[in-house]
Chain A
Amino acid sequence: MNTLGSVLLWVTDHGYQILLVGLVAVFCVREPRSRRKIVRVLLVLGALVVGCIFLAAAYGKMKPPVGFAWSWPSSVRISLAWFAMQVESYRLLPPAASSAVAHFLPFFELFLGLWLISSIGLRFSSLVASFTLCGFMIAIALAYHRGLKIDCGCGIGPPEEVGPAALLRDGLKFLLPALLVAIGAFWIHRPPDAAPLPESAPATPEAV
C-alpha cells in the first residue's frame, strides 16, 4: 500500500512536467496528422496523470494514521472521521454536511480517478475533474481570505497549510493538467475533416 502511495505521489508531483513538455511538442509540430497523434498520446498520459492525482487524494484521505494498520472498515472510518474534522475546519459547512462531504469525497475521488484512467468519456471526466479542482481551490482561497491557519486536507503529500503555496501547487500541478486534458479531449473530438470557411464567404450576416 505504501509503494502504491509513493508511485501515485511521484506521478502527482511530476506528471504536469511531462504534459508541459508534450504541449511544447504539439506546438512545434505543424503537420495536422502528426499533431493529432501526439495529442492522442498526450491525452492518454494526461488522463493517467490526472487520474493518479485523484487516486492519490483518495488514498491520502483513506490511509490509516501513523501507528494504525490498514483494516476495512475500521481504519478507513478513523481516517474519514479525521478528514471530517479537516473539512469542518474550513468553516464552510455545518457539522452534518461536513461529515457527509468527508465520507463521500474520497470515494468520489476514487471513482473519478478510475474513470479518468479508463479514458472512457474523457471529455466529461476531465471536465468534472477540472470543476472539482476549481471547487477545492475556491475553498482554500476562502479559508486563506478568512485568515484561517489550517491544514488544507488535500490528502496529497505532507500536510500543507492553506495559503498561496497550496493554491499554486493545486493550480500548477493539478488544475493545469486537468484543464489541458479537457481542452485536448474536446479538440480531438472535432471532426478531422471540418473544412474551414471559404475566405470569400461572408463572416457575418451584417456583412451581406
Chain B
Amino acid sequence: MNQPSAGRILSLTLAVCIIAGNNRHQVVVTGAIRVTIEEEISINCGEAELIYKPDSSLGAALRSCCAGWLGAVSALLALFLLGPGVATIACAQSSTAQPTTAKPATASTTHARAVAPAKAVAALGVPVKAYGSSNAPITMEVFSDYECPSCRNLFETTLRQMIPDYVASGKVYLVHRDYPLPMHKYGYQAARWLNAAARIGEFQAVEAALYDNQNAWAMDGNIEKYVSGAMSAAEFKRVQSQMQGCGYPGDAAVRPAAFALGAQTAQSCALDTYIDQDRALGNKIPVQATPTYVITYKGNRLPAGSGIVSWPILKQFFDSLLSQ
C-alpha cells in the first residue's frame, strides 16, 4: 500500500460514512472533501476510533472502526474509487444527541492537521463527552459549567473516584452535558474548548485540566494555556483549528451580550451547536443550578438531583440500584 507523503494533498471525491447501528448498517455518500494528511489521521467512529497511520495496515484500521461485511465492502469501494494510499472513512453517529463511549486519551497516537479548518471540523463528527460504556445499566448525566466551583468539587471529590471504580467496571456510563451559566464570564468559552477537544478524543484530559486549573483561568480567561498543556502540540493544533472564529467579538474574554439573554452567541461558532444541544436538554429537565445530575437505570429515569454528592453516598445509591 502506498503511504501518503508529508504534505501531500489528497483529493477525496467521496467520503463514505458508515453509520453502525444495532444489527444494521447504512452507507451514506456525502459530498467531496479535501484534506491534507501529514502524519496520521484520527476519526471518531461511534464507539471506536479510527486511527489511520501511514505505516499501519489500512484494512486493520477499517476493521477496527466498522465491523461487519457492509463496512468492509464500503471500504473496498472507497479504495477502488479513490486509489491506493487515499482513504479516509468518516464515520459518524446517526444521532448527535446520543452520547457515545469515549476512549481514553491517547496523546501519542493522534496527530493530524487539517488545511481547511471548517472542512476538517465537518469531518470530525460529534464530540464524545462521556466515560465508560453506553451499555452500562446506569447512566449518569451531569450538567455542569466548567467555571462553577461546585461542579469542580463534584468532579474532584466524587466523579474522580467513581471513574476508575464503577465506570471502569462497566456499571456506570458517565455523560458530561454542557450547561454554562450566564453569570460565569468564561464558562461558555471553556465549554467550546472542551467540545473542540472532545471531537479529537481528548475530552477526559481537557476536562481534568480545566477543573484542576479552574481558579487560574477563571481569573484571566486564559483557557488555551491549560488546554494546550493537556495534549500534544499536534493535537492542540487540531483543537485550535476548530476554535477559529469562536472568539468573542473584540475581546475573547468578554462574553457576548446575547448569551446573557439566553440567546445564541453573537459570533457564530460551529461548536456552539453542541453546547446548545446540551443546554436544550438541560432546560427540559429543567436544570436550576449546576451541577445537576440525572440518573437513568435500565431506561427508568430518576428525578434530577443537584448539588454536591459524596462518593460514598452515590455509591450506596448505585449499589441499591444494581442489587435490584
Q: Does B288 contact A (CB under 8 A)?
A: yes
Contact present for A85 and B320 (CB under 8 Å): no
**Bound CA span A201–B127, Å:** 88
Interface size for B (C-beta < 8 A) is 23
Task: Knowing A67-B299, A84-B316, say if A150 contacts B306 (CB, 8 Å).
Answer: yes
A113-151 vs B, Cβ < 8 Å mask (1 yes, 0 no): 000000000000000000000000000000000001111
**8 Å CB interface, A26-48 against B:** none
The interface bits of chain A over 69-84 (1 if a CB of B lies within 8 angstroms of the residue's CB, else 0) are: 0000010011011101
Among B305, B310, B314, B321, which residue has its beta carbon within 8 angstroms of that of A151? B305
Residues in B neighbouring A149, C-beta threshold 8 A: 288-289, 306-307
Q: CA of A161 to CA of B304 in the docked complex: distance in angstroms?
A: 12
Return the contact of A95 from the options B303, B307, B313, B320 (Cβ within 8 A): B313
A12 beta carbon closer than 8 Å to chain B: no
CA–CA, A85 and B314, complex, Å: 7
Contact present for A78 and B324 (CB under 8 Å): yes
Which residues does chain A contribute within 8 Å of B320, judged by CB atoms?
Answer: 74, 77-78, 80-81
Contact A150 B312 (CB under 8 A): no
The verdict on B225 contacting chain A, using a C-beta distance below 8 Å, is no
Q: For the complex, is B308 an interface residue (Cβ under 8 Å from A)?
A: yes
With a cutoff of 8 Å between Cβ atoms, the chain A residues found around residue B305 in the complex are: 82, 85-86, 89, 151
Does the CB pair A68–B300 fall under 8 Å? yes
A148 to B17, CA, bound (A): 46
Is B301's CB within 8 Å of the partner chain A? Answer: yes
Contact A151 B306 (CB under 8 A): yes
Q: Would you call B300 and A67 a contact (CB within 8 A)?
A: yes
| 8 Å CB contact of B313 from A77, A78, A84, A148 | A84
**Is A159 interfacial (CB 8 A cutoff)?**
yes
Q: Residues of A contacting B308 with CB < 8 Å?
A: 88-89, 91
Whole-angstrom distance between the Cβ of B293 and the nearest chain A Cβ: 9
* A163, B31: Cα distance in complex, Å: 55
Output the nearest chain B residue to A66 by Cβ-Cβ distance: B300
Q: Can you name the residue of chain A whose Cβ is closest to the Cβ of B296?
A: A67
Pair A88/B299 contact, Cβ less than 8 Å? no
Residue of B nearest to A147 (CB): B289
* A148 vs chain B, min Cβ distance (A): 6
Contacts of A80 in B (CB 8 A): 320
Give chain B residues whose Cβ lies under 8 Å from the Cβ of A65: 300, 302-303
Q: Is the CB of B317 within 8 A of A82?
A: yes
Q: Is the CB of A96 within 8 A of B312?
A: yes
B323 interface residue per 8 A CB criterion: yes
Bound together, the chains give a CA A161 to CA B286 distance in angstroms of 12
Evaluate contact between A98 and B324: CB separation under 8 angstroms.
no
CB-nearest residue of chain B to A159 = B303
Roughly how many angstroms separate A48 CA and B305 CA in the complex, as a whole number? 32
Q: Identify which of A74, A78, A88, A161 contacts B309 (C-beta below 8 A).
A: A88
Contact call A84/B317, Cβ cutoff below 8 A: yes
Q: Per a CB cutoff under 8 Å, which of B301, B309, B321 touches A85?
A: B309
B299-A77 in contact (CB<8A): no
Bound-complex Cα distance A149 to B289 (A): 6
* A88-B300 contact given A74-B323, A78-B324, A148-B307, CB 8 Å threshold: no
Tell which of B289, B300, B302, B316 has the most Cβ of chain A within 10 Å: B316
CB distance from A65 to the nearest CB of B (A): 5
Give a binary string over A145-165; 1 marks a CB under 8 Å from any B CB, 0 the rest. 000111100000001010000
Given A77-B320, A77-B323, A149-B288: A67 in contact with B310 (beta carbons within 8 A):
no
- Is the pair A89, B307 in contact by a Cβ cutoff of 8 Å? yes
Give the shortest distance, in Å, between A143 (CB) and chain B (any CB): 9
Docked Cα-Cα span, A149 to B183, in Å, equals 15
Residues of B within 8 A of A95 (CB): 310, 312-313
Query: Are B310 and A88 neighbours in the complex by a CB distance under 8 Å?
Result: yes
Shortest distance between the CB of B320 and any CB in chain A (Å): 4
Are B316 and A89 in touch, CB under 8 angstroms? no
CB neighbours (8 Å) of B309 from chain A are 85, 88-89
Q: What residues on A are CB-neighbors of B317 within 8 Å?
A: 78, 81-82, 84-85
Q: Give A82's nearest chain B residue, CB to CB.
A: B317
Distance between A130 CB and nearest chain B CB, rounded to angstroms: 28
> How far does the alpha carbon of A9 sit from the alpha carbon of B303 in the complex, in Å?
19
**CA–CA, A95 and B303, complex, Å:** 21
Interface residues of B (CB under 8 A from A): 288-289, 299-303, 305-310, 312-314, 316-317, 319-321, 323-324
Nearest 7 CB-CB pairings of A with B: A67-B300, A149-B289, A89-B307, A81-B317, A81-B320, A95-B310, A78-B320
16 sampled A-B residue pairs with Cβ under 8 A = A65-B300, A74-B320, A74-B324, A81-B316, A81-B317, A81-B319, A82-B302, A85-B313, A86-B305, A88-B310, A88-B313, A95-B310, A95-B312, A99-B313, A99-B316, A150-B306
Q: A81-B317, A99-B313 are in contact. List 8 more A-B contacts (CB 8 A).
A: A66-B303, A74-B320, A81-B316, A84-B316, A88-B309, A89-B306, A91-B307, A149-B307
